[in-house]
Amino acid sequence: MAIDWQKEVDARKDDILNDLKELLKVRSEREDSKITADAPFGPGPRDGLKQMLSYGQRDGFTTKNVDNYAGHIEFGQGEETLGIFGHMDVVPAGDDWQTDPYDPVIKDGKLIARGSSDDKGPSMAAYYAMKIIKELDLPLSKKVRFVVGSDEESGWGDMDHYFEKETAPDFGFSPDAEFPIINGEKGNVSIQVHIGVSNEGNYTLKKFQGGLRDNMVPTNASAKVTTITAEQADAMTIAFNEYLGINPISGTSVKEDDTTVIFQVAGKGSHGASPQFGHNAATWLAGFLDKYDFAGGAQNFLHVASAYIHEDFYGEKLGVAFEDPKMGKLTMNAGIFDFDEEKEDAFINLNFRYPQGTSSETLQAGIKNAIGRYDVTLVEGGHHMIPHYVPQEDPLVTTLLDVYEEHTGEKGEEQIIGGGTYGRLLERGVAFGAMFPDSVDTMHQADEFMSLDDLYKATAIYADAIYRLAK
């Protein structure tokens, strides 16, 4: 049976867009301060999960909510299950948006909102692909289950809980990356560098903060500094303006009193898997402050950030650089900086995307060797994921590449990325779309968007792919 998948999608464009807009209005950022038994990651992720599941209930699928951690939408019959994995949680919107990040706007064919490309837009495309197959009453020999998560951007606690209660699908994909396919993902581990908060110099670092998540390049950073004399404070503000003028950042300095200055820097955000595409506001600020006479823990904090982390995206200064012929280079993102002289210690959170051939233990040994003399303590945190790879000759990979090639006319090749997707949850799991090779990547950035053309084209590709894998 020849099916015009794009025609089926075109007939449902308005429905796809209306459901997606409704979903994007849910502010599904994780909020630890609002966690309850009913909202394990805060009310936003819970509400996003429930909203997505409500579409499945409305459209006659079998649905299940697993304790507001995750859920699924399912149809079909058979002993095997094809899994599709999406997530409703989003990274914090942050600043510098031209529009309200939770009031979707269409401009120049782009749907602008937090989560539009990561991952509510692609998830809606995959859901409607399932809906088309169901409405056409096409015969299937396998179950198709769309697993909906709510903690992908943080610790993956949603999937830990889900798989305690539910059996894993046999194979599948996540619509949370790019076409033609992602069949390999680097390891992902965060290592916190803890440093003391003592101040012993002529300049005092009261506070230094930057970044929102370990998987985001910090867009903004601020520091509160006190000096001994008003003249020192004035000289710092003049030097800071000169520093801004010759570097790819912007910022402000405000005198709180004669000897206290608050410095703020705005850089450029990027996904933590590709830190080289951003300008880390925190390390640029540390680079300015490091030349002043701080001492003790404050000096250690600033110097480590400036001399060992700033503009080092591959861990070379820390002595942990590594490259694998297939998976490529290790990358490093310094995502969170926190120094407060009233706390017990300060920390810098380093997120590594590492290829096969190295390990968290090797990384920690290298870091300790490079900066151990600055009185640091290392702590592994977050959800550690080891490298993942599905061979390109696997039928899952070959089928998805065939579908991509037929719909686009472009040759499909295997790809390995530093980003972590739910595709790695399954031994035979990959990421498949929804960005195309010519798409603009705005994930984790201000004014995130998904092209409507990409949204509808991806829906057709997903429908064809799901049907071929499950028929």
- Looking at the annotation, which residues are catalytic? 89, 152
Q: Locate tokens 């390995």: which residue?
A: 416
Long-range CB contact pairs, 164-167, < 8 A, 24+: 165/66, 165/67, 166/64, 166/66, 166/72, 167/81
Residue 130 CA to its chain's centroid (Å): 25
**Residue in 102, 128, 112 with CA at minimum distance from that of residue 47:** 102
Give the span between the Cα atoms of 24 and 442, in whole angstroms: 16
Residue length of the chain: 471
Burial classification of residue 392, based on how many CB atoms lie within 10 Å of its CB (0-12 exposed, 13-18 middle, 19 or more buried): middle
| 184 in Cβ contact with 389 (< 8 Å) | yes
Tell me the three state secondary structure of residue 182.
strand
**Residue in 55, 53, 58, 79 with CA at minimum distance from that of residue 68:** 53
